[in-house]
Amino acid sequence: MSPTVSESEFQDLSRQAEIDGTAPRVGAIIDRGGQILLLERHDTGPIKVPLKLPGATVLPGESLAAAVTRGVLEETGLVVTGIRHHVGDFDYLSPDAQPVRRLHFAVDVAAAHPIHLTAHARYIWAPLDGELPVTSSIRAILETYRNLVHG
C-alpha cells in the first residue's frame, strides 16, 4: 500500500463536495496488522450507538489532508505520517438536516499507541475480518478497504 493521495485528488474531492452542496467531513482508517481502530462515543441512552472511525469536520479553508491529520490527532493523539488511499465516501443528513459527505482515507501513523481519547468513552482494535459493530455505511467502507488491501 505505498501510493499516496495526490493534492489534485484531494482538490477534486473537495470541489465535488462543494458542487454537490455537501459539507465535507473526513474519517480515517488506521490499520494495525489487520485490526482497525474504532471509537465509542459517550453513551447515556438505552440504545447502544455503533462505533465510529476517527475523523473530523473540515473547517472553512482547511484542506482535506489537514482535516484528516487534525482529526486523528485530536480524537486519538496519534500522528498521521501519510494518507495512502481515498477508500470511499457516503452522504447523510446531519442532526440539523444539512447534507454531509463523509470521505474516508487509509492513513499511516507514527505509532499505534499510546491512544489518548479526548471526546470518546473508549476505543477498540477490531479485526477487519470480524463482525464489526459499526453502521452499514462504515461497514461498506471497511469492506472496500479490505478488498483494496487484501485483494
Dihedral of CA atoms 94, 124, 134, 75 in degrees, nearest 10, equals 20
Length of the chain: 151
Q: What domains sit in the chain, N to C, each tagged with a CATH number?
A: 7-150 (3.90.79.10)
The pLDDT assigned to 76 comes to: 97
The pLDDT assigned to 118 comes to: 87
C-alpha cell at 111: 505509532
Phi, psi of 72 (to 5 degrees): -65, -45
The pLDDT assigned to 42 comes to: 79
pTM over 0.85: yes
Instruction: Give the C-alpha separation, 93 to 97, whole Å.
Output: 5
The pLDDT assigned to 1 comes to: 43
Q: What is the mean pLDDT of each run of 10 residues along the chain (151 residues)?
A: 80 94 96 94 73 95 96 97 96 93 97 91 90 91 91 67
